[in-house]
Every structure is written in structure tokens, then in C-alpha cells.
A and B are shown apart, each in its own frame.
Chain A
Amino acid sequence: DIQMTQSPSSLSASVGDRVTITCRASQTITTYLNWYQQKPGQAPKLLIYSTSSLESGVPSRFSGSGSGTDFTLTISSLQPEDFATYYCQQSYSNHRTFGQGTKVEIK
């Protein structure tokens, strides 16, 4: 299976900060990369699909980029409601796999 590795595993940031989360695939996945946000006690929510396409209703401060094996999720100006855990997921292989998650905490 394709292994997905996120970095960092956790980070502390302040409201208004620019935050970048990295996701690396163990082999090329072209642009078949999706990002999710999960808040405590809630189901995950799709933020970005196909590397850079913003899901309907998701604020424009979220953006995604990359191709091949290296991808990033950027939050341009962190808001209080953005403190959560973020997961990347590859859909290149029929066996879907997720990164281990990045927890974004309040500084």
C-alpha cells in the first residue's frame, strides 16, 4: 500500500498565523490527494480534493498544492475555528490510505 507521511505531527500557532502542513507519499500519486479537517467528537470534513480544488463552502484561506509525492495544505491566516486535526488521503490506489494526522493547537 501507498504510505502517506504528514509533517509535523502537531504544531502550535496563533490566530492570524500562516500554517503549512506537508504530506509525502511513498510513491507518485500524481494529484490524487485530498485533505480533511476533524474536530474533537466530530466526523472528518472534506476540505480540498484533487490536490488543490476547494470543496464547496470551505473558506478561501485554505489552499492545497503539490504533485507526484509532495503536497502541502496551507491556511493563510489561522482562525479560531481552524484548530483541529488535519489528514491527507491518497486516492491514486484502490487501497486508499491516510496520513497519520497533524494536530493544530492554539499557541
Chain B
Amino acid sequence: EVQLVESGGGLVQPGGSLRLSCTASGFTFNIYDMNWVRQAPGKGLDWVSYISSSGSTIYYADSVKGRFTISRDNTKNSLYLQMNSLRAEDTALYYCARTPYSGSFDPWGQGTLVTVSS
């Protein structure tokens, strides 16, 4: 079964840091591009970042560029998101999602909740 499991979320103060992880199973991780997508409570979906299968190409949403860093370890079937200088508006459920084709996202993990609050 293709599966993505996120971890690392929690409560952090404004200006703080957090590192999210996403562990993949059930597919050949190193041939797929990956993404982070977030969803603020009660709100819509917001793409955060993309990384190519080799890790050589990376993109960020303007709202997180310079603060967040996406990375992957293909030997561990894992995707990461290092989040620094966190703001209240970064509060959201963070999903990792595979890109199977055509820039789509499938599947998605169950998400890990990040809450930025003092």
C-alpha cells in the first residue's frame, strides 16, 4: 500500500523552529517528486514547497521562501521541511504529497499539525 506518514508537528512560539518529516512506503520513493501542502484550520489548501526526485530542483511559495527549507533522503525514503522564523500565519495542518504525474498530488499523508502561538 502506498503510504505517507508525517511527523514533527507541535506547538511552537513565534520566531521558533520546527522540522517536519514524512516517511514514505509502498512505492519507489527515489523516482518521485514530492511536495508539502498546508491547510490552515477551516481554510483551503496552500502549496508550500516542491522537490524533485533527485533533490536537484526546489521551489517555494513566496510566503515561506527564505524561512523554510525542503529536503529529502532517498536512502531513508524520507522528506523533510525545516521551518524557521515561524509566524502565527504558518499555523496549519501540513501534508506531504507525492507528484505522480502532471503536477498533481497523490497520495497525501494524514498531515501533522503545526501551531504557532505564544
Do A and B assemble together? yes
In Å, the complex CA distance between A91 and B99 comes to: 10
Question: Is the CB of A68 closer than 8 A to any CB of chain B?
Answer: no
When distances are taken between beta carbons in the complex, the residues of chain A under 8 Å from B46 are 98
**Chain B residues touching A, range:** 20 to 34
Residue among A44, A89, A96, A97 having the largest count of chain B Cβ atoms under 10 Å: A96
Within 8 A of B (CB), among A27-54: 32, 34, 36, 38, 43-46, 49-50, 53
Q: For B106, give its contact among A55, A96, A101 (CB under 8 Å).
A: A55
When distances are taken between beta carbons in the complex, the residues of chain A under 8 Å from B108 are 43-45
When distances are taken between beta carbons in the complex, the residues of chain A under 8 Å from B104 are 34, 46, 49, 89, 91
When distances are taken between beta carbons in the complex, the residues of chain B under 8 Å from A46 are 100, 104-107
Contact assessment for A87 and B102 in the assembled complex, using a CB-CB cutoff below 8 Å: no
Nearest-CB residue, chain B, relative to A101: B44
* Residue interface bits A43-87, CB-to-B below 8 A is 1, else 0: 111100110010100000000000000000000000000000001
Nearest-CB residue, chain B, relative to A46: B106
Q: Nearest Cβ distance between residue B81 and chain A, in whole angstroms?
A: 15
In the complex with contacts A44-B108, A55-B106, A94-B50 CB distance below 8 A: yes
When distances are taken between beta carbons in the complex, the residues of chain A under 8 Å from B59 are 94-95
In Å, the complex CA distance between A91 and B35 comes to: 12
When distances are taken between beta carbons in the complex, the residues of chain B under 8 Å from A97 are 47
User: Interface on B for A, CB 8 Å cutoff?
Assistant: 35, 44-47, 50, 59, 61-62, 95, 100-111
